[in-house]
Amino acid sequence: MNLDDLKAEWSMEMQRAEPTNDFRFEGVKRQVAELRRGIRFGSFWMVFSLIGVSVIEVFVQFVSLDGAGWMSKLGAAAWVAFTFWLVVVLRRSVKVNRSDDWTLRSRLEIEIERTQKHRDTWSRVVAWYLAPMMCAVVLSGLGGSHDKTGGYAPGPVGWVLFATCVALFAFVYWLCRREIRKKLDPLLSRLKRLHAELIGSETGPL
């Protein structure tokens, strides 16, 4: 099958699909494209910021600070490990198992799978993002307190930083739940309804 045949098949399938549903497929495509851009943008800055923190932590604890203790160094290593872990999770969240055979049905199934994976990933943000980051923050904070004072109990500044981190983590969790409710769930529902309409048009009346 050459490219012209594929284009003709795509055009015929689009013409079959359009009369069978009330959805605007172009609107769904724009919504999917907007979601992809937002996820790529957010993922880039998440990874970029963690790389920066990891580089600074490694430089401070292993290079410039001669008296860094084992917990401070462990905290730096935790930031590096967390960065690699985040890259793995984000890559898995965009990888789909379905193959694209240049049909509208396969494109919809790919987007349904990808959107569902995004939803599942961000609904578990505590497990793969907030909890590991909190561990790295605690290790770095307690290690820094021990290096300065000889004790592990944080001072007033340390407690303020911990409280700020908890507040930020709570905000991130709320924001993720809000994005799921307002963007991912409605888009996933639209894709599934459009897919059901397409399947109905392909099978026809029984």
Under the banding of pLDDT at 50, 70 and 90, the label for residue 141 is confident
pTM attached to this predicted model: 0.77
Q: Which of 80, 86, 82, 76 is nearest to 141 (CA)?
A: 76
Q: Give the mean pLDDT of 21-43.
A: 77
Closest CA to 133 of 63, 185, 82, 202: 82
pLDDT band at 23 (very low <50, low <70, confident <90, very high): very low
Most confidently modeled range among 4-18, 45-59, 100-114: 45-59
- What's the rounded Cα separation, in Å, for the pair 116 and 205? 29
Residue 39 or 98, more confident: 39
> Pick from 164, 17, 175: which is nearest to 103 by CA?
17
